[in-house]
Amino acid sequence: MRWNDSITFVRVVGRQDEEGAWHEDSREEREVFCNSYNVGTITMATLNQTGVRPTYGSRSQGTDVGLRAERQVQVRAIDYEDEELAIYHGSEYKVLYCTGTGELRLLTLARRLGNE
């Protein structure tokens, strides 16, 4: 494994006001090393057709219409803290799927269909 690429994980820090509206106060970013992979055809087709967003960790399963799986990155488990957003090569992605046990995690990254 080369670990010759990097990804920036984004944690959004926010608050709710008295009316219940959500306000983004700040974004915390941290960069970690990763290995990059292309999303396999079968994986991409399955995720895009079903809209199912299986996740690892404390987040529950759900659906998010309008996302397209585009990249997969491998990171060390100690570097991934269940962030839901990431910046990879200048584009913002949502962490769609996370698999792995032990030392490594494989994250599937997705973007909204309207993003450029």
* Domains contained in the chain, number: 1
Report, as an integer, the average pLDDT of 99-109: 91
53 located within any domain: yes
19 located within any domain: no
Q: What is the reported pLDDT for 31? A: 97
- State residue 46 phi and psi, 5-degree precision: -65, -50
Burial zone of 18 (CB within 10 Å; 0-12 exposed, 13-18 middle, 19+ buried): exposed
Q: Supply the DSSP string of 16-62, one letter for each residue.
A: E-TT--EEEEEEEEEEEEEEEEEPPHHHHHHHHHH-B---SSSPPP-
Give the structural domain span for 102: 5-14+26-112
> What angle is formed at CA 71 by the lines to CA 66 and CA 73, rounded to 5 degrees?
130
Query: 106 forms bridges with which residues in the sheet?
Result: 74, 99
45 located within any domain: yes
pLDDT tens readout for residues 6-64: 999 999 888 888 898 888 888 999 999 999 988 876 666 666 565 544 443 334 444 45
20 located within any domain: no
